[in-house]
């Protein structure tokens, strides 16, 4: 659907993304489902996406989370990003996550990187449309998922290098990335205050790829384990300064990048929920004919209508969070609300779609895939449980932990 409250510019974004989603992402996602493997790096989707200038655009988008300079005009970037995220996820959420670009590694470099780092990591790799490139972001370890303070990948200064040692897991596009923003600790006893972020480039001795995960969903997207064995990373690749206060301030700012990425992940969940919902609506219409009267049929309609109300509310929460960001207003609470609400609404919508379609849903390639794919949106970028705690703390004015 096209929301008539959108102005012509936003509607245009939506229409372009609809075409890209329908013509490029959906077929690529189905291919990945058929092979059971992530899309290969030389898949034509990636060059087509690049030729539209979209990787470079993403790499160089506005720095998230920052304060507005006095008199700075509102941006349209965050709202365009969530419109695109929902629409592309509607067509194929796995292929969407596989698209070239800096991924979650982009915001920390945008925010904490110096001019040289932004040029080396956000411009140069993404300039040539014929050579798709990826960035990645690695915090997760076997004992550090939600509790990021527990990361054990160690960083030790040695001359003009840092020596990194440890393992990362479940890293989106980790095996194909030209560089990965790796979070490591200079002193595990300091918790988050000891964390530093390093851009580790592919080919650096001691940096390698472990297992590519076989997942329940998001098949088109690669999820990789990474290892660092006495991996020497030049000091120039450290993001956000070396010393305690400087680095700590940098990390607080880096956390603010989630204020943009959380509404985007939430919007993707809405897109998946909407995709399953629309399929279920069509199947229900087919089954019920012109006028549903039976109590069961009315019950089905009510269930789908409830799911749709929740999805629409989720979309509005995403929009509000993005609107505030575009208007240079702090949106941490609004971003958390969107992230808490949208995956839950999308889970409920895909579950309702599967239920009301019955056996047709179990074998329907769209509905069953949405059901498998949607769960992870309640896991990455802060699990639902943890986000609810974070949100409650913020609403009551308690400081966040760590
Ligand atoms: C497809 C996919 C892609 C991913 N991509 C990336 C990536 O690119 N980069 C990256 O760094 N990571 C990535 N991740 C990892 C993801 O961020 C983590 O899975 C997530 O942070 C949760 O960590 P965990 O799985 O270790 O769960 P845990 O943190 O161990 O949590 C397990 C359960 O306990 C609950 N829980 C934990 N703490 C609390 C608490 N304090 N109170 C109440 N409940 C709690 C959680 O909500 C969850 O239900 C990806 C994961 C997946 C599945």
**What does the DSSP assignment read for 51-67?**
HTTHHHHHHTSPPTTPP
Q: How far apart are CA 384 and CA 246, in angstroms?
A: 31
Q: Is the pLDDT of residue 95 over 50?
A: yes
- Atom 50 of ligand 1, residue of closest alpha carbon: 170
Residue bearing the CA closest to ligand 1, atom 39: 386
- Does pLDDT of 14 surpass 60? yes
Distance 280 CA to ligand 1 centre (A): 30
Q: What is the pLDDT of residues 22-43, one digit of tens each?
A: 999 999 999 999 999 999 999 9
- Alpha carbon nearest to ligand 1 atom 30, residue: 145
What residues form DSSP beta bridges with 136? Answer: 180
Q: Domains in the chain and their CATH numbers?
A: 8-125 (1.10.540.10), 133-243 (2.40.110.10), 254-395 (1.20.140.10)
CB-CB contact of 191 with 209 (8 Å): no
Strands 179-185 and 207-212: unpaired
The pLDDT of residue 259 is: 84
146 C-alpha to ligand 1 centroid (Å): 5
Per-residue confidence (pLDDT) for residue 401, from 0 to 100: 58
Question: 300-306, long-range: CB within 8 Å, 24+ apart, which pairs?
Answer: 300/356, 303/352, 303/355, 303/356, 304/277, 304/280, 304/352, 304/353, 304/356, 306/352
For the CA of 389, the closest atom of ligand 1 is 42
Closest atom, ligand 1, to C-alpha of 148: 21
In the residue annotation, 86 being an active-site residue is answered as no
Residue-by-residue DSSP string for 215-252: -SS-TTS-EEEEEEEEEEEEGGGEES-SSHHHHHHHHH
The CA angle 205-155-213, to the nearest 5 degrees, is: 60
Atom index in ligand 1 nearest the CA of residue 381 equals 17
Catalytic residue among 124, 297, 381, 385: 381
Report pLDDT digits (tens) over 214-267. 999 999 999 999 999 999 999 999 998 777 666 666 566 666 678 888 999 999
Q: HSE on the CB side for 144, CA within 13 Å?
A: 20
- pLDDT-derived band at 71 (thresholds 50, 70, 90) equals low
Question: Can you tell me the distance from the alpha carbon of 144 to that of 262, in angstroms, rounded to the nearest whole number?
Answer: 19
User: CA-CA distance, 88 to 296, in Å (whole number)?
Assistant: 34
Taking CB atoms within 8 Å and a gap of at least 24, the contacts of 6-13 are: 6/83, 9/76, 10/76, 10/79, 10/80, 10/83, 13/80, 13/83, 13/84
Question: Residue 228's beta-bridge partner residues?
Answer: 166, 207
The rounded Å distance from CA 149 to ligand 1 centre is: 13
Test site for ligand 1: of 32, 108, 140, most ligand atoms within 8 A of the Cβ = 140
Ligand 1 centroid from CA 38, angstroms:
21
For residue range 114-168, list pLDDT tens digits in order.
999 999 999 999 999 999 999 999 999 999 988 888 899 999 999 999 999 999 9
Contact 202, 179 (CB under 8 A): yes
| Total-model pTM | 0.92
CB 97 within 8 A of CB 220: yes
- Per the model's pLDDT, the better-predicted residue between 104 and 342 turns out to be 342
Instruction: Give the pLDDT score at 65.
Output: 44
Ligand 1 atom closest to the Cα of residue 146 is: 29
In 111-175, beta strands by DSSP E: 135-138, 154-158, 161-172
Distances in Å between the alpha carbon of 358 and those of 234, 239, 348, 352? 57, 51, 15, 10
Residues having CB closer than 6 A to ligand 1 are 104, 136-140, 145-146, 170-172, 215, 218, 223, 376, 379-380, 383, 385-386, 389
Point out the ligand 1 atom lying closest to the alpha carbon of residue 140: 11
CA of 378 from ligand 1 middle (Å) equals 9
Ligand 1 geometric centre to CA of 248 (Å): 23
Gap between the Cα atoms of 68 and 304, Å rounded: 41
Q: What is the pLDDT of residues 299-314, one digit of tens each?
A: 888 999 999 999 999 9
Query: Residue 273 pLDDT more than 70?
Result: yes
Average pLDDT, the chain: 89
Nearest CA to ligand 1 atom 31: 146
Query: Which helix (DSSP H) or strand (DSSP E) does residue 198 occupy?
Result: strand 195-201
């Amino acid at each position: 659907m096209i929301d008539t409250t959108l102005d012509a510019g936003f509607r245009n974004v939506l229409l372009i993304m609809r075409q890209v989603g329908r013509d490029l992402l959906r077929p690529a996602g189905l291919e990945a489902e058929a092979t059971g493997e992530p899309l290969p790096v030389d898949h034509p989707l990636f060059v087509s996406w690049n030729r539209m200038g979209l990787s470079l655009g993403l790499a160089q988008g506005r720095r998230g989370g920052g304060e507005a300079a006095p008199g700075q005009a509102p941006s349209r970037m965050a709202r365009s990003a969530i419109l695109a995220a929902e629409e592309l996820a509607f067509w194929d959420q796995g292929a969407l996550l596989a698209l070239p670009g800096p991924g979650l590694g982009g915001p920390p470099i945008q925010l904490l990187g110096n001019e040289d780092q932004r040029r080396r990591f956000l411009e140069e790799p993404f300039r040539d449309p014929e050579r798709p490139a990826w960035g990645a972001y690695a915090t997760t370890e076997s004992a550090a998922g939600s509790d990021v303070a527990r990361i054990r990948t160690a960083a030790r200064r040695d001359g003009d290098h840092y020596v990194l040692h440890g393992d990362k897991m479940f890293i989106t596009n980790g095996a194909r990335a030209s560089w990965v923003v790796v979070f490591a600790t200079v002193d595990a006893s300091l918790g988050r205050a000891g964390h530093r972020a390093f851009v580790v480039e592919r080919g650096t001795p001691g940096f390698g790829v472990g297992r590519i995960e076989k997942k329940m969903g998001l098949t088109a997207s690669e999820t990789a384990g990474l290892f660092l064995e006495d991996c020497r990373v030049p000091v120039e690749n450290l993001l956000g300064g070396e010393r305690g206060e400087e680095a700590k301030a940098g990390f607080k700012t880096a956390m603010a990048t989630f204020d943009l990425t959380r509404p985007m992940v939430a919007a993707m969940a809405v897109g998946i929920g909407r995709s399953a919902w629309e399929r279920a609506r069509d199947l229900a219409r087919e089954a019920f004919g012109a006028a549903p009267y039976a109590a069961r049929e009315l019950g089905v309609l009510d269930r789908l209508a409830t799911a749709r109300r929740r999805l629409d509310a989720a979309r509005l929460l995403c929009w509000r969070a993005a609107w505030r960001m575009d208007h240079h207003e702090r949106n941490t609470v609004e971003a958390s609300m969107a992230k808490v609400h949208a995956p839950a609404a999308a889970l409920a919508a895909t579950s309702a779609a599967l239920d009301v379609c019955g056996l047709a849903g179990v074998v329907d390639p769209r509905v069953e895939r949405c059901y498998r794919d949607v769960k992870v949106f309640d896991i990455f970028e802060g699990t639902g449980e943890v986000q609810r705690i974070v949100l409650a703390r913020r609403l009551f004015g308690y400081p966040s932990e760590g």
